[in-house]
Structure 1
Amino acid sequence: MAWLVLVASGLLETVWAVALDRSAGFSRPLPIAIFVVGLVLSMLGLGVALRSIPVGTAYAIWVGIGAVGTAVVGMLALGEHAGLPRLLSLVLVVAGVVGLKVFH
């Protein structure tokens, strides 16, 4: 169960990061609200996962999921560049996250 909570928390990191971008410097109320709720839920989930998963493993996986998710949203929905070097770099991050889970 802790691993599912950790993955969900990592996905929520993507939510709050994108909402932070969309808030236009904290000037738009709806993205600000989504940012705050996403951030709180993401941190709470990380805290729950830390009851069963070591901090180094959990934090690295949480950040990795959030970073890859945010980059993917940026490329697919926000018009960010999706060149081959960038995609290969994201694959390496995913490989690292999977490796941390497998060798936990």
Structure 2
Amino acid sequence: MNWILLIIAGLFEVGFTTCLKLSNNFSNLKWTSGFLISVLLSFYFLNKATETLPLGTAYAVWTGIGAVGTVIVGIIYFNEPANFWRMFFIATLIASILGLKFFAGSSH
């Protein structure tokens, strides 16, 4: 369950970074509200996940999910580049996230 909470936290991180871009420097109330809600939920679920997961592992996976998800959103919705090297390093980051998940020790 703790890994599911961590994945949810990471997805809300993608939400808050996307809303941050769309908020137009916090001048758009709808996207600013989405940003604030996503930040609160992301940190809430991250906090819940760190009750049972090692803090360093949880933080690395949370930021990794956020980074990969934000790059994917950027490519799909904001026409950011998807060249070979960018995709190569995103794949490396995904492999690192999976490695942390599968080889993380228990905190208890």
TM-score grouping bracket, smaller chain normalisation:
over 0.9
How far 1:93 moved relative to its partner?
A: 0.4
Q: How far 1:101 sits from its partner (Å)?
A: 0.6
Question: What does the per-residue CA deviation read over 1:24-70, in whole Å, with 9 as the maximum and x for residues that have no partner?
Answer: 11110000000000000000000000000010000000000000000
Q: Report the alpha carbon displacement of residue 18 of structure 1 after superposing the two structures with TM.
A: 0.5
Match of 1:6 in 2: 6
Partner amino acid, structure 1, of 2:2:
A
CA distance in 1, matches of 2:84, 2:12: 26
Could you tell me how far apart the structure 1 residues matched to 2:5 and 2:82 are? 29
* Structure 2 unpaired stretches of 5+: none
Amino acid at match of 1:55: L
Normalising by structure 1, report the TM-score: 0.99
- TM-score normalized with structure 2 length: 0.95
Which letter does structure 1 place at the counterpart of 2:47? G
Equivalent positions of 1:1-104 (< 5 A) are: 1-104=1-104
Deviation at 1:5, TM superposition (A): 0.4
How big is the alpha-carbon RMSD for the aligned residues of Structure 1 and Structure 2? 0.4
Matches of 1:3 and 1:17, distance apart in 2: 21
Q: Which amino acid aligns with 1:69?
A: G
Count matched residues.
104
Shift of 1:15: 0.3
State the alpha-carbon separation in 1 of the partners of residues 80 and 87 from structure 2: 12
Deviation at 1:84, TM superposition (A): 0.7
